[in-house]
Structure 1
Amino acid sequence: MAQLARFGVVGAVGFVVDTGIFNLLRATVLSPDEVHSGPFWAKVVSTIVAIFVNWMGNRYWTFREQRRAVATREGIEFVVVSLGGMVISLGCLGISHYVLGLTSALADNISGNVIGLVLGTVFRFWLYKVWVYHPERGHARVTTAEPSTTAPAGHAAAPTGSEVAGQ
């Protein structure tokens, strides 16, 4: 339950970042009056920034016990899952704005930042939990045998049972 609460706090920070940047861009350089697909691109940019903020919060706080020692693969998996959430949000925004013709700032925020966010959050939390930060994948250990201080010079100590088992 505490992990879900931490995920919620990180998500709330990400929401503020995402919504703030989206609305700033939508009201200025990516206004639908100036750029027909402006709301779409504003959502892409705001979501990418929020993905970075959320990854840092989730890696170092929400799922800190399950994170891996090397961040590269975890980061790639996090981005893949987050982009899936972005597609959900963009789909909601696209249907509302371009299919249903609901083009006001309020409609764009409800479709992209409320409905899309809720659906995307469920999707992301589930995949973060079962794939990116799955407990069996956390803290991957290197299984190389280290020389023992009692082994003769030039000879490595025999691996322990846990090293042989890869644990």
Structure 2
Amino acid sequence: MKKLLRFAIAGGLGFVVDAGILALLLHATPLGPFLGRLIAIAAAMTVTWLFNRTFTFDRSPHSLAAEGFRYGSVGVTSALVNYGLYSALLLTLPALQPLAAMVFATAASMFLSFFGYSRFVFRSE
């Protein structure tokens, strides 16, 4: 249960980073909601890796490079699901605000990422 709570905290931090960077990029640059979201996701993934590595899961038995590759693999898969849902929502519901689409897509991909991180990245062999 502690892992799930800490994972939720990491996800909350990642969400704040994701939403904050997306909002900043939408306001201050001409990047738009699709390219801006890719940048925001990358920053959020870095924050969640650092938090999860330090507080949520026991250190993996793998080298830092191998752990980072595994985390990135799960993170990219989860991010593709997240980004796909985000894009589909924006394209099918043009009146939907990008941050609202982000909330729905992030909630849907959260379960996939927890399973992948806990079973593939940080699981001791």
TM beyond 0.5: yes
Per-residue CA deviation, residues 3-42 of structure 1 (Å, 9 max, x unaligned), is 1111111111111111100111012213xxxx5xx20111
Q: Distance in 2 between matches of 1:83 and 1:62?
A: 19
The answer (yes or no) to whether the contact 1:77–1:132 under 8 Å persists in 2 is: yes
Structure with higher helix content? 2
| Aligned pairs for 1:4-153 within 5 A | 4-30=4-30, 35=31, 38-63=32-57, 65-68=58-61, 70-102=63-95, 107-112=97-102, 114-136=103-125
Q: Distance in 2 between matches of 1:108 and 1:59?
A: 29
Q: Distance in 2 between matches of 1:7 and 1:15?
A: 12
SS of structure 1 residue aligned to 2:61: coil
SS of structure 1 residue aligned to 2:29: coil
SS of structure 2 residue aligned to 1:87: helix
**Unpaired runs of 5+ in structure 1?**
137-167
Counterpart of 1:6 in structure 2: which amino acid?
R
The answer (yes or no) to whether the contact 2:10–2:51 under 8 Å persists in 1 is: yes
**Unpaired runs of 5+ in structure 2?**
none
Q: Distance in 2 between matches of 1:66 and 1:60?
A: 8
Instruction: Tell me the number of residue pairs that the alignment of Structure 1 and Structure 2 aligns.
Output: 125
Q: Distance in 2 between matches of 1:15 and 1:100?
A: 22
Q: TM-score, normalised by structure 2?
A: 0.91
The answer (yes or no) to whether the contact 2:61–2:124 under 8 Å persists in 1 is: no
Percent sequence identity over matched residues?
27
- What RMSD in Å do the two structures reach over aligned CA positions? 1.5
The answer (yes or no) to whether the contact 1:89–1:111 under 8 Å persists in 2 is: no
Task: Give the structure with higher Rg (CA).
Answer: 1
